[in-house]
């Protein structure tokens, strides 16, 4: 047992101020709400808080195609009508709209996950949290399911520089298809996704029969579930499968995607999980005492997303939170009870004992096909990305430098966001 976990937490208020558009279910404002709730419970005092760097296009192109990254960089709401063919090619449109500051939004959330991976690699922390990350649907050459850049794949690629085996676990209600697809042919990453499957539910993949191919055969695990699964069945299945996975695969590090759309009452979800049930999965994973990178993901009832990720921050800090939500900037969203608990779900549980038993049996059978953890000849570890030095001579001192640029010029080890220092404390609801 480690004596006390060192936790790094990444946040930039700018991610919460982007707007996908009217009627779009993705509300990045939920990230501001989460952060303020974390502050109101004073959890920031137990962690190191960092503003992530904005990932460079060359970093994003470690996974994504250079032409796709370049297009995301170039496109704006005002110019999109000139690029109808490209919009179709890169799957930008209704689900994945072009909005103001889209590329910067991607740079920040991806930068947070890459920075989290680097701090873990350099053993500067035991657990790293980036609630803005977890956008698991994005593909190499296209956007998908509200996701443009797949920060999880980029973070895992970074972890693979130092770890022979990475375990990826996904508890979003949607299948973690982008991450699975990226590592489908390798045994260096095992992907395990628990999700709703069937009834044309997005993205339509994630059957238990999808197990990986070539060197990756048996290294993709899918746990397809039906509507209405509850805490007891979900956590029991999760604990059994993940314990077996860790025992057999022996990962050096775990990446946990905590999509909160698997909660009861989610605008797009169909499960009956309480926040306690969802957080129990985080607790189970934490107990393995392996380096851990935790991200957000889906979640479309934003006050419940904020509740969930705050409770899970508490779990990672071994801190029980009082049910009554303290005064904070977004307190009105948590009324009338102002409590952390959420109402129980009322969706009928279509997951029979025999169905869940069959799924569990199939997964464990596939795991038995892996005789032992694959051995990887570890080469000399490549350096982290070359980041160009900041050249003061090129800066015109007469030009007004915005605060964000100034912040980037200072190396900070203890950047807290509290009170007047919080750059999003005047955020209106979006």
Domain that holds residue 281: 7-369
Is 188 a domain residue? yes
Between CA 273 and CA 82 the distance in angstroms is 44
φ and ψ of 365, to 5 deg: -65, -45
Burial of 262 from C-beta contacts in 10 A (0-12 / 13-18 / 19+): buried
Instruction: Quickly state the pLDDT bin for 419 (edges 50, 70, 90).
Output: very low
- Measured in whole angstroms, how far is the alpha carbon of residue 37 from the centre of its chain? 18
Binding residues for a divalent metal cation are: 172, 174, 261
Nearest C-alpha neighbor of 98 from the set 67, 115, 116, 77: 77
How large is the average pLDDT for residues 152-179? 98
Q: Quick one: which H or E segment has residue 238?
A: helix 231-249
Between CA 401 and CA 260 the distance in angstroms is 38
φ and ψ of 155, to 5 deg: -65, -40
What letter does residue 100 receive in the DSSP assignment? T
Instruction: Quickly state the pLDDT bin for 178 (edges 50, 70, 90).
Output: very high
Q: What is the DSSP string of 3-21?
A: SS--EEEE--GGGGG----
pLDDT at 412: 38
pLDDT at 4: 79
Q: Which residue has the higher pLDDT, 377 or 421?
A: 377
| Token digits of residue 324 | 């009554």
Pairing between strand 166-170 and 220-225? unpaired
pLDDT at 389: 39
Is 283 a domain residue? yes
Is 416 a domain residue? no
Query: Per-residue pLDDT for 307 more than 60?
Result: yes
Is 381 a domain residue? no
Is 422 a domain residue? no
| Token digits of residue 264 | 């009861």
Average pLDDT along the chain = 90
- Measured in whole angstroms, how far is the alpha carbon of residue 78 from the centre of its chain? 30
Question: How far are the Cα atoms of 246, 269, 295, 315 from residue 365, in angstroms, in the given order?
Answer: 15, 29, 29, 32
Nearest C-alpha neighbor of 229 from the set 205, 199, 195, 198: 195
Provide the number of structural domains found in the chain: 1
Nearest C-alpha neighbor of 168 from the set 159, 47, 412: 159
Q: Quick one: which H or E segment has residue 191?
A: strand 189-196
Is 378 a domain residue? no
What letter does residue 222 receive in the DSSP assignment? E
Which of 185-194, 292-301, 306-315, 412-421 is predicted least confidently?
A: 412-421
Q: Quick one: which H or E segment has residue 167?
A: strand 166-170
- For tokens 């009627």, name the residue: 23
pLDDT at 3: 59
pLDDT at 191: 98
Given 35, 53, 137, 162, which residue is catalytic? 137
Domain CATH code at residue 28 = 3.40.800.20
pTM score, two decimals?
Answer: 0.88
| Token digits of residue 352 | 């029979």
Query: Per-residue pLDDT for 184 more than 90?
Result: yes
Query: Per-residue pLDDT for 394 more than 60?
Result: no
Is 392 a domain residue? no
Please say whether the dihedral angle defined by the alpha carbons of residues 226, 227, 233 and 239, taken in this order, is positive or negative: positive
What counts of helices (H) and strands (E) characterise the chain?
Answer: 12, 8
Instruction: Quickly state the pLDDT bin for 2 (edges 50, 70, 90).
Output: low
Q: Outline where 77-161 has alpha helix (H).
A: 84-89, 102-121, 151-159
pLDDT digits (tens, 9 = 90+) for 109-157: 999 999 999 999 999 999 999 999 999 999 999 999 999 999 999 999 9
Is 395 a domain residue? no
Percent of the chain predicted with pLDDT > 70: 85
How large is the average pLDDT for residues 51-66? 98
How large is the average pLDDT for residues 325-338? 95
pLDDT digits (tens, 9 = 90+) for 193-239: 999 999 999 999 999 999 999 999 999 999 999 999 999 999 999 99
> Is 331:253 a contact under the CB 8 Å cutoff?
no
Q: Looking at 204-324, which runs of residues are DSSP E strands?
A: 220-225, 253-257, 292-295
Terminal alpha carbon distance of the chain: 43
379 CB-near residues (< 8 Å, 6+ apart)? none
Collapsed DSSP state (helix, strand, coil) of residue 391: coil
pLDDT digits (tens, 9 = 90+) for 336-380: 999 999 988 999 999 999 999 999 999 999 999 985 545 555 444
pLDDT at 120: 98
Instruction: Specify whether 24 is catalytic.
Output: no
φ and ψ of 340, to 5 deg: -75, -30
pLDDT digits (tens, 9 = 90+) for 281-290: 999 999 999 9
Between CA 88 and CA 118 the distance in angstroms is 35
| Angle at alpha carbon of residue 10, lines to 8 and 12, rounded to 5° | 155
Binding residues for substrate are: 95, 145, 300
How large is the average pLDDT for residues 64-93? 98
> Is 360:280 a contact under the CB 8 Å cutoff?
no
Binding residues are: 95, 145, 172, 174, 261, 300
Instruction: Quickly state the pLDDT bin for 411 (edges 50, 70, 90).
Output: very low
Query: Per-residue pLDDT for 95 more than 80?
Result: yes
- Measured in whole angstroms, how far is the alpha carbon of residue 144 from the centre of its chain? 15
pLDDT at 238: 98
């Amino acid at each position: 047992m480690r004596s006390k976990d060192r936790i790094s937490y990444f946040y930039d208020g700018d991610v919460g101020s982007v707007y996908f558009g009217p009627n779009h279910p993705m509300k990045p404002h939920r990230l501001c709400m989460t952060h303020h709730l974390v502050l109101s419970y004073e959890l920031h005092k137990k962690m190191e808080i960092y503003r992530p760097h904005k990932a460079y296009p060359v970093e994003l192109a470690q996974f994504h195609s250079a032409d796709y990254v370049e297009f995301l960089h170039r496109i704006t709401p005002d110019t999109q009508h000139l690029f109808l063919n490209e919009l179709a090619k890169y799957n930008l449109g209704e689900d994945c709209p072009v909005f103001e500051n889209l590329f910067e939004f991607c740079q920040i959330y991806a930068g947070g996950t890459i920075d989290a991976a680097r701090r873990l690699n350099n053993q500067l922390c035991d657990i790293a949290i980036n609630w803005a990350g977890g956008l698991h649907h994005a593909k190499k050459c296209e956007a998908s399911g509200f996701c443009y850049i797949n920060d999880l794949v980029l973070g895992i690629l970074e972890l693979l520089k130092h770890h022979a085996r990475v375990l990826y676990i996904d508890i979003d209600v949607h299948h973690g298809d982008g991450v699975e697809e990226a590592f489908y042919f390798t045994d260096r990453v095992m992907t395990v996704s628990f999700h709703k499957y069937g009834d044309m539910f997005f993205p339509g993949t994630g059957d238990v029969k999808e197990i990986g191919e070539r060197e990756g055969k048996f290294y993709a695990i899918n746990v397809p579930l039906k509507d209405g699964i509850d805490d007891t069945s979900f956590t029991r299945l999760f604990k059994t499968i993940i314990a077996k996975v860790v025992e057999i695969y022996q990962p050096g590090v775990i990446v946990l995607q905590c999509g909160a759309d698997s909660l009861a009452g989610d605008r797009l979800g169909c499960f009956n999980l309480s926040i306690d049930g969802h957080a129990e999965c985080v607790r189970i994973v934490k107990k393995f005492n392996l380096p851990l990178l935790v991200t957000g993901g889906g979640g479309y009832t934003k006050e419940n997303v904020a509740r969930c990720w705050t409770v899970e921050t508490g779990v990672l800090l071994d801190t029980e939170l009082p049910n009554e939500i303290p005064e904070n900037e977004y307190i009105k969203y948590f009324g009338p009870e102002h409590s952390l608990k959420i109402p129980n779900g009322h969706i009928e549980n279509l997951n029979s004992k025999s169905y869940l038993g069959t799924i569990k049996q199939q997964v464990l059978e596939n795991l038995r096909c892996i005789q032992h953890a694959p051995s990887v000849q570890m080469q000399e570890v490549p350096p982290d990305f070359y980041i160009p030095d900041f050249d003061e001579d090129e800066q015109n001192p007469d030009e007004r430098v915005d605060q964000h640029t100034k912040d980037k010029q200072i190396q900070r080890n203890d950047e807290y966001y509290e009170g007047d220092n919080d750059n999003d404390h005047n955020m209106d609801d979006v």
